[in-house]
Amino acid sequence: MRIIVVGGGIMGLATAWELTRRGERPIVLERFARGHTRGASHGATRNFNNAYAEEHYLDLLVRARDGWDALGEVEGEPLLRLHGLVSHGSGTALGSAAGVGLTAVADRLRERGLPAQMLSPREAHRRWPGMRFDGDALYSPDAGVARAAVAMRELERRILAGGGEVRWSTPVSAVSDADGTVTVRTPAGDLVADAAVVTVGAWTTPLLGGILGEALPRLRVTEESPAHFAPRDRASSWPSFNHFVAPGSWPANVYGMPTPGEGVKVGFHGVGDEVDPDARPFAATRQAELREYVRAWFPGLDPHSAAPISCTYTSTDDESFVLDRRGGIVFGAGFSGQGFKFAPGIGAVLADLVIDPAARAAPAFRLR
C-alpha cells in the first residue's frame, strides 16, 4: 500500500512511524526544512499533562503513553521526563466538561490506575516553594515533559530505519481523491498513492477546505507567546504545572514546565492574536501580563528575566481534535497547543484510519 503523509511535524512523523511498525513504507512530505520554527512542533520541551477528566482524552493518553514507552530511551534518557505535574486553581481543566474540578480529575486518573494525590496549599508550597497556591492542588507523579526536539529526531530515525522516507523542503499545493486514488501535488510533480494522511497544522484549511467544505470545523490559527523565566534558586526542583485560573482574574489558564538550560516555561493558554501562518509576525504579546502573573504566583522565578518564545495554535471552537477520514484522505487537525503529548496515540489512530477504512476515531474527534 502506498501512503503519503503530508506534514512532517510531530503528528505526521508519529503517524509515519506507526505505519512503519505495521509494515508500511510511508513517504513524509514537509514544506519546510528540518528543525524549522514555522509550525508548532519545535522547541526542547512540551508539557506531558494528564489532568483530563473526559474519557476520550484519557483513552488517547493511555495509547500515547504506550507509544512513548515503545520509543524507549534516546541519548540515555526516556523521551518522557516524569518529574510530576501539579494542577491547581478554581477554573475548569482543559479538555474537561464544564464544572469538573480537580477532585473529579483525580478520581478519573485513579480509575485508570494512574497515581493522583490531592495536596493542601501548605503541603504543595512545602514541596515546591517557588510556587504559590491558594487552594488544594492535584499532584500526578506520572506526568512531566516530553523531550520535543529529541522526539522529532528519533521519530525520523525510526521512519527511515523502517523503510519510509522523509522529504524536507517539499511543499504540497493540493491533495485530491478520485476513483480510489489519491494525488498529491508538489513542485517536482504529482505523486499518486492509495491513501494520504494530512497533518499540516495551521495550513489545514487552505489544503483541505475545498475538499471537506462545511464539514471541516473552523480552525483558528494564533501566535502564542509563552516565555522562559530564570529560577532565583538554580538548585530548586520544578514540576510541570497547570493553573486553572478563576474567570476574569487573568487572560487565560496557565501552563508550564522546566526546560533544562532555558529556565521554567510559563504561558497563557490560547490568548494570542489570530495570524496568517504564511505572514506570521513572530511578535511577542501579553508579556507585561505574563510577567505580572509570574510576580504574583511564582516567588521562585525572576519576572524580569522573561525570554519570549513564539509558537502557533490551531484550534477548533471547542478545542476538540479532528481525527477522521474522507475517501482516501485521512486527516488530523485542531490540536490547540495541547496535542504534542498525545502524538504517539494520535499517530496510532490515524494509522488505524489509513489501514482500515471501517475504523473510526472516538465520536468527539470525528467531523461533526
Each residue's pLDDT tens digit in the chain (368 positions)?
Answer: 899 999 999 999 999 999 999 999 999 999 999 999 999 999 999 999 999 999 999 999 999 999 999 999 999 999 999 999 999 998 765 554 445 689 999 999 999 999 999 999 999 999 999 999 999 999 999 999 999 999 999 999 999 999 999 999 999 999 999 988 999 999 999 999 999 999 999 999 999 999 999 999 999 999 999 999 999 998 899 999 999 999 899 999 999 999 999 999 999 999 999 999 999 999 999 999 999 999 999 999 999 999 999 999 999 999 999 999 999 999 999 998 899 999 999 999 999 999 998 999 999 999 98
What's the Cα-to-Cα distance from 66 to each of 21, 61, 195, 240, rounded to whole Å?
Answer: 13, 9, 25, 21
Instruction: Give the per-residue pLDDT at 368.
Output: 80
pLDDT of residue 336: 87
- Of 210, 156, 189, 213, nearest to 5 by C-alpha is 156
On whether the CB atoms of residues 103 and 328 are closer than 8 A, the answer is no
pLDDT at site 99 = 53
Superfamily of domain 66-146+220-315: D-Amino Acid Oxidase, subunit A, domain 2 (3.30.9.10)
pTM: 0.96
Give the model's pLDDT for residue 94.
53
Cα distances from 309 to residues 32, 200, 202, 224, 292, in angstroms, run: 19, 21, 18, 8, 17
Cα separations in angstroms, 268 against 7, 53, 286, 288, 357: 27, 21, 9, 12, 39
The CATH superfamily holding the domain 3-42+149-217+318-365 is: FAD/NAD(P)-binding domain (3.50.50.60)
Rounded to the nearest 5 percent, the helix, strand and coil shares of the chain are 30, 25, 45
Distance CA 331, CA 208 (A): 9
| Helix ranges restricted to H, 92-201 | 102-111, 121-127, 148-161
Query: Quick check: 89 and 137 in contact, CB under 8 A?
Result: no
Q: Which residues pair with 191 in a beta bridge?
A: 184
Ordered by start, the domain boundaries in the chain are 3-42+149-217+318-365, 66-146+220-315
Annotate 323-353 with b (16+ C-beta within 10 A) or e (fewer): bbbebbbbbbbbbbbbbbbbbbbbbbbbbbb
What is the pairing mode between strands 3-6 and 27-29? Answer: parallel
Q: Interior CA angle at 224 toward 6 and 172, to 5°? A: 15
Which H or E element spans position 293? helix 287-297
Gyration radius (Cα) of the chain, Å: 20
Altogether, the residues listed in the chain come to a count of 368
The pLDDT score that the predictor gives to residue 118 is 97
Angle at 317 (CA atoms; ends 213, 347), nearest 5 degrees: 75
**3-42+149-217+318-365 and 66-146+220-315: same fold?**
no
Cβ contact 118:136 at 8 Å? yes
Find where cell 501579553 sits.
286
In angstroms, the CA 343 to CA 3 distance is 19
